[in-house]
Structure 1
């Protein structure tokens, strides 16, 4: 059985992580730039916003780290509430986690993928990695907006976001 993007896998089934992600971005028509053999950046349209995606490959331990940035900045005044919300949100996640970068206050979703000894990434792994990041950012984007702009408490913001998400078709 073939997936809709199977034809785009470079060099067979598996490839170097940045090469495979570049092929995926190309196949989906997502703007991207291969920064080096160890890094790629691009942009993906989510349900709520455009998300900046960065993937960084560490060859010495075969770990691919994916960062998804929803362009949400947390002001110093909202930092405490945002961290409380982060704790509540991260309890809901099976893969990856949200964080606020200490410099600049940027909200980020991070996920690390440990690849095998060969250090190769499959198309299905690449798709899953990017889709999970975008899905999680979309899932919790409203909660962060409720806290940062709507002055809701972290618990109320998460509850409202989950109700809104459950009601979407």
Structure 2
């Protein structure tokens, strides 16, 4: 249903315009931060994620950032970085990172768009949904390390077992 509502507004479009139409069709709170950036909040299974998309015209690259409200305390940084490496081994697209300023956990993925720099409805939905899905998939592992005092390996194993057992 959302796809039809979005297509009524626009077919392929500039990335920020397309994402704005997608966010509006889904009823997600959002704002256009600038001509080349949009920010919004998307509910996930575990938390609400802040999602930002930044368009780089010179490269025709759209960067998607999905951030749970999770900061890595200095005392947990080493274990969190080890978990990041283990988690990133599981990913085909995108990666998790910790911003050096403020210790914010985030998922980042870049989309290279064609020469026209246009984003389709399907690609917009897939990019946002997959970012939220990956954050949901690994959110428990980060919580286990940061607040449950599990080792990175046991946290990842526990999170992947829990995810596989959900119906």
The answer to whether the 8 A contact 1:9-1:20 is kept is no
- TM-score w.r.t. the length of structure 2 is 0.97
Question: 2:58 matched to 1:60?
Answer: yes
Q: Please, which of 65, 89, 92 is the counterpart of residue 91 of structure 1? A: 89
The answer to whether the 8 A contact 1:20-1:126 is kept is yes
- TM-score w.r.t. the length of structure 1 is 0.96
Query: 1:36 offset after TM fit, Å?
Result: 1.5
Map 1:137-152 → 2, pairs under 5 A: 137-152=135-150
The unaligned stretches of length 5 or more in structure 1 are: none
Query: 1:86 offset after TM fit, Å?
Result: 0.1
Query: 1:9 offset after TM fit, Å?
Result: 2.8
Cα distance between partner residues in 2 of 1:56 and 1:4: 23
Higher helix share: 2
Question: 2:70 matched to 1:72?
Answer: yes
Q: Please, which of 100, 107, 110 is the counterpart of residue 109 of structure 1? A: 107
The aligned counterpart of 1:127 is 125
SS of 1:121 mapped into structure 2: coil
SS of 1:21 mapped into structure 2: helix
The aligned counterpart of 1:27 is 25
The aligned counterpart of 1:118 is 116
The unaligned stretches of length 5 or more in structure 2 are: none
Query: 1:123 offset after TM fit, Å?
Result: 0.5
Question: 2:58 matched to 1:38?
Answer: no
Query: 1:12 offset after TM fit, Å?
Result: 4.1
Aligned-CA RMSD value: 1.1
The aligned counterpart of 1:5 is 3
Query: 1:10 offset after TM fit, Å?
Result: 6.1
The answer to whether the 8 A contact 1:10-1:23 is kept is no
SS of 1:25 mapped into structure 2: helix
Cα distance between partner residues in 2 of 1:43 and 1:82: 24
The answer to whether the 8 A contact 1:69-1:109 is kept is yes
Cα distance between partner residues in 1 of 2:134 and 2:76: 21
SS of 1:42 mapped into structure 2: strand
Cα distance between partner residues in 1 of 2:108 and 2:77: 19
